[in-house]
A and B are shown apart, each in its own frame.
Chain A
């Protein structure tokens, strides 16, 4: 009986693992094959990899999209960490009734669906397009600004600040550091792992964001990677080998970040539930 249960468990988990991995394998194999072979269901690696890569960079604006996505994701991540950690630290270390109420009100914004604020945001950036064209519609700045500050990350930093030792602040004050000095010289270096966890989540969210860039970035040269992939995916005569190559290249940055920092990522996910 016990043995049967064991075998059933392994079978079940193996099926789950195969289903989870298969799309990745298919994608990796297909990037080495011709489009015709992909449609015929070929599951063995071919010799077409370099031809696909060459074709991709010759026909699709992969490089500008990669540059746009990188600029957006890096700036978003840096600003998110800075603003959210300052706020999380402020809410936890300088607690007051007023700040607790303000924090609760900020948390309500987590329930606001993006689709509900998308139109007013679009009109907001449309309204400043004439006077301040550098942050108007179809600029990277407009793609970045509304996504930088989220209640989730403020909450995340506040939860993690609870574990920060308050004696360190007193020590800093005795040493004559300013309040901001304490934050940058003592808090930031001791909270490295928290920043690492937040950085991964912020980077991945930004790199994969689709709806807001779709709304605000209109000209082809401003396209980000998800917009480009979506566009390739909806073409009428798709070259499967080339599209798979594009998807693999688009997925690489987040996959690499994930595998290098897997532990921090899981820690980050849990940090958002605690408390």
Chain B
């Protein structure tokens, strides 16, 4: 009887997730333009290693991941600890303000960031008025600064979102633990590393896995802020798959091969994070 309740969901997930996964696997051994696909064995997989665009896409995506996720997780944790202080004034205002970026769509905020970080945009004007800069930074057209801009954009959009998870978890921690730690003479830094961090471990695991999966799939921001440029300096894996399928002469086979690399990366990274986070779960 219970199966009747679940049958639509099971069929839909099979049709829209598992069946396409199998199709993508078969496609990854084929090559050709548009619908003219022929089996080419492992050629696509060999091609990956000699494809500078693919290597750029992997390097960029990992750069975003390695730099951005830790910065954001630490920031979210620091904000939540500061905001969890019962004696702090304007708590509601700070919390809402930091969470606010989450109401924007990824496309909308990307377009805003593109304008703010233009060479003659607000960010450069502001920094030059403060005399922090002599000349404007080429945020969007310099390979290094373009990456920095993307990282700042994602951090702006998602820090408040992750902060909410930490805040709710902190509210569940018994305050008496901190009281007795204070009595024993523990400094607030010690309290943070010895009490708060261990108790937040499940949330840290959760937020780092969801952020890792999110960043590995990053598309909307690079597409709308830099379009992957300059050159391939901010090209992401998802964007490369999109370009291969819909922008250049469509090569669905090779695009499917690239997409399987993302699948493997997500599985491997999730397993590593579970292992690192330890034994309790």
Q: Which residues of A contact B (CB under 8 A)?
A: 9, 12-13, 16-17, 19-21, 23-24, 26-27, 39, 41, 83-84, 86-87, 89-91, 93-96, 99, 102, 106, 109, 111-124, 145-146, 148-149, 151, 154, 179, 183, 207-208, 210-211, 214-215, 225-226, 229-230, 232-234, 238, 240, 243, 247, 250-251, 254-255, 258, 266, 269-270, 273
Determine how close the nearest CB of chain B comes to the CB of A254; give it in whole angstroms.
5
Q: Which of B71-110 contact A (CB under 8 A)?
A: 79, 82-83, 85, 88, 93-94, 97-98, 100-110
Partner among B23, B94, B113 whose Cβ is within 8 Å of the Cβ of A16? B94
Partner among A16, A41, A183, A270 whose Cβ is within 8 Å of the Cβ of B5? A183
By beta carbon, the residue of chain B nearest A19 is B156
Given contacts A12-B82, A124-B20, contact A87 B5 (CB under 8 A): yes
The reply to whether A106 and B13 contact each other, CB–CB distance below 8 Å, is: yes
By beta carbon, the residue of chain B nearest A94 is B2
Whole-angstrom CA separation of A26 from B107 in the bound complex: 17
Contacts of A146 in B (CB 8 A): 16
Whole-angstrom CA separation of A90 from B4 in the bound complex: 8
With an 8 A cutoff between CB atoms, is B64 at the interface? no
Whole-angstrom CA separation of A84 from B13 in the bound complex: 11
A17, A24, A115, A215, most chain B CB atoms within 10 A: A115
Contacts of B109 in A (CB 8 A): 23
With an 8 A cutoff between CB atoms, is B24 at the interface? yes
Determine how close the nearest CB of chain B comes to the CB of A204; give it in whole angstroms.
8
Whole-angstrom CA separation of A119 from B98 in the bound complex: 37
Query: Chain B's interface: helix, strand, loop or mixed, by majority?
Result: helix
Given contacts A13-B82, A16-B98, contact A229 B111 (CB under 8 A): yes
Partner among B16, B103, B263 whose Cβ is within 8 Å of the Cβ of A113? B263
The reply to whether B266 and A113 contact each other, CB–CB distance below 8 Å, is: yes
The reply to whether B206 and A117 contact each other, CB–CB distance below 8 Å, is: no
Determine how close the nearest CB of chain B comes to the CB of A272; give it in whole angstroms.
9
By beta carbon, the residue of chain A nearest B153 is A23
Whole-angstrom CA separation of A52 from B217 in the bound complex: 35
Whole-angstrom CA separation of A218 from B241 in the bound complex: 18
6 A-B pairs with CB atoms under 8 Å apart are A113-B262, A115-B217, A121-B16, A211-B220, A233-B107, A266-B164
The reply to whether B256 and A232 contact each other, CB–CB distance below 8 Å, is: no
Contacts of A238 in B (CB 8 A): 115
The reply to whether A233 and B110 contact each other, CB–CB distance below 8 Å, is: yes
Given contacts A109-B18, A148-B12, contact A20 B100 (CB under 8 A): yes
Partner among B6, B125, B227 whose Cβ is within 8 Å of the Cβ of A99? B6
With an 8 A cutoff between CB atoms, is B116 at the interface? yes
Name the 6 nearest CB pairs between A and B, nearest first: A94-B2, A90-B5, A233-B111, A87-B9, A120-B20, A208-B105
Partner among B8, B122, B161 whose Cβ is within 8 Å of the Cβ of A41? B122
The reply to whether B2 and A96 contact each other, CB–CB distance below 8 Å, is: yes
Determine how close the nearest CB of chain B comes to the CB of A108; give it in whole angstroms.
8
The reply to whether A210 and B23 contact each other, CB–CB distance below 8 Å, is: no
Contacts of B13 in A (CB 8 A): 106, 109, 149, 151
Contacts of B3 in A (CB 8 A): 90, 94, 99
The reply to whether A273 and B105 contact each other, CB–CB distance below 8 Å, is: no
Whole-angstrom CA separation of A136 from B211 in the bound complex: 33
Q: Mark B99-136, 1 if CB is under 8 A from A, else 0.
A: 01111111111111111100010100100000000000
By beta carbon, the residue of chain A nearest B214 is A113
Contacts of A234 in B (CB 8 A): 224, 227
Partner among A123, A208, A232 whose Cβ is within 8 Å of the Cβ of B111? A232
The reply to whether A23 and B112 contact each other, CB–CB distance below 8 Å, is: yes
The reply to whether A13 and B79 contact each other, CB–CB distance below 8 Å, is: yes
With an 8 A cutoff between CB atoms, is B238 at the interface? yes
Whole-angstrom CA separation of A19 from B113 in the bound complex: 12
Q: Which of B190-222 contact A (CB under 8 A)?
A: 202-203, 206, 213, 216-217, 219-220
